[in-house]
Amino acid sequence: MRKILTSIGTLAAAGLLTVGLTTPASAATGTLYITQNGQTTAHTNPTGRTCYASDSTKGDVTFSNRTDQPSYVTDNKCRNLIAGDHFLRSGQTRTLPAGTAVVWPS
């Protein structure tokens, strides 16, 4: 009986350590604002790996990152980083060509 209780206790401790040490993927906290063609769209707590793309037919786009995490500036399908400075830092606002997108790393 003592061996069974010791085994159960060991398994319970291992399970608690596993749950306690893992951290889930989290969204950025704050708001991403996308302004294009005079209209602004707000995305609260944007999630990782979600592509926030602009319309490639509506002119330049302004991204305003009011979150606690930086994002990447990519092409409209979020596959390739743009040339040059490919970050949209926390607190930063950038106006970029139509067909540009931002994505948060997971």
Record the pTM.
0.73
Q: Are 58 and 95 in contact (CB under 8 A)?
A: no
Residue 65 lies in a domain: yes
Task: State the pLDDT at residue 56.
Answer: 93
Tokens 């069974």 correspond to what residue?
A: 4
The parent domain of residue 83 ranges over 30-103
In a domain, 84, yes or no: yes
Q: What is the pLDDT of residue 19?
A: 42
In a domain, 41, yes or no: yes
Residue 72 lies in a domain: yes
Domain count, the chain: 1
Ranges of the chain whose pLDDT falls below 70: 1-26
List Cβ neighbours of 12 (8 Å cut-off, separation of 6 or more). none
Contact of 63 with 88, CB cutoff 8 Å = yes
Task: Tell me the pairing of strands 52-53 and 39-44.
Answer: unpaired
Contact 41/61 with Cβ under 8 angstroms?
no
> Is position 56 within any domain?
yes
